[in-house]
Amino acid sequence: MIEWNENISGEQATLNLEGKITFENAGELRNRVKAILSEFPLKTLTFDLAGVRFVDSSGLGLLVSIKNTMVKRNGSFKIVNITETVRNIMNQTGLDKYFEI
């Protein structure tokens, strides 16, 4: 289960997420991010993961694809307020450096 609220203003957007980002729900979150990116001229997208207590490999894959998409748009993707469990999974897979967390 994943829920989020969105703060979009000008070229910046922050999504505050709560729950788990996993293979069951990553597709729904991906669709929403795609819709936001096609509607708004974002330069910076931030995911606040303070409320996310778990991600699996599909969740990681989604975060990677969002970062790749933002880089292609000459924008940036930031992850902030990461929980210990999520940080451990990032460390295991070498993604901590990629996301600069």
Partner 1 sequence: MDTATLALQLEMTGKNGPRILDFNDDLKNYTHFFNRVVDHLHDSNLQVLRLSSTFESRRNHIEWIMSFSEHILYKVPIVPPEYLSPMLLIIHEAVSNAVYHGNLCVPDEIRTSRTFHEYEEELSAGHPELLDRQATLKLSLFHDQGELTITDSGKGFDYQRELDRNHPPSPEREMGRGIYILKQTADEIRFDDNGKTLHVRKYWRKT
Please report, as ranges, the residues that interact with partner 1 according to CB under 8 A.
Answer: 22-24, 27-28, 30-31, 54, 56-58, 60-62, 64-65, 67-68, 85, 88-89, 92-95, 97-98
Q: What is the DSSP string of 51-94?
A: EEEEE-HHHHHHHHHHHHHHHHTT-EEEEES--HHHHHHHHHTT
Q: Provide the minimum distance between the beta carbon of 10 and partner 1 in the complex, in angstroms, as a whole number.
A: 28
Output the smallest distance, CB 9 to partner 1, in A: 28
Tokens of 3: 């829920």
What's the closest the beta carbon of residue 82 comes to partner 1, in angstroms? 14
